[in-house]
Amino acid sequence: MKFPVSRKETVTFNNLTNAYFDVPGFIINFTYLGTDKIDGFPMIEGTYGVLIRTQSTEVYYRYDSTGELNVTLNKFGTYTLEASNGNAFKIQLKELIVK
């Protein structure tokens, strides 16, 4: 699902799985992983997972039962991601693999 978001509004979304936010200047992509885990990060605990990607940063979020993420965007286009339930870790994944 695509959600256009302005830098001047507060928006709350509940029960999202896969989504991306189209904010002027960049896109934040949320990919629901379910019980799948990302290889190379076994130390991150939680039953369910979400991969959050932007143009230059990835965050791996895992939680039990109900997850809650808060994204705050300031007037300069910088955003803060906060996990209220579960754990979020900044990771690095390859953006493109050519074989």
Do 9 and 3 contact (CB within 8 A), yes or no? no
Q: Is residue 78 exposed (0-12), middle (13-18) or buried (19+ Cβ within 10 Å)?
A: exposed
How many domains are there within the chain? Answer: 1
Gap between the Cα atoms of 7 and 75, Å rounded: 6
> Domain for residue 43, yes or no?
yes
pLDDT of res. 37: 92
Structure-token match 């895992």, residue found: 62
Asked if the structure places residue 96 within a domain, the reply is no
Residue 77 domain flag:
yes
What pTM did the predictor assign?
Answer: 0.81
Return the pLDDT at 73.
76
For residue 99, being part of any structural domain is answered with no
Within-domain flag for 98 = no
Question: Which stretch of 4-8, 26-30, 48-52, 79-83 has the lowest confidence by average pLDDT?
Answer: 4-8
Residue 97 maps to a domain: no
| Average per-residue pLDDT for the chain | 82
Domain enclosing residue 9, as ranges: 2-91
Q: State pLDDT tens for residues 48-91.
A: 999 999 888 899 999 998 888 888 777 777 778 888 888 999 99
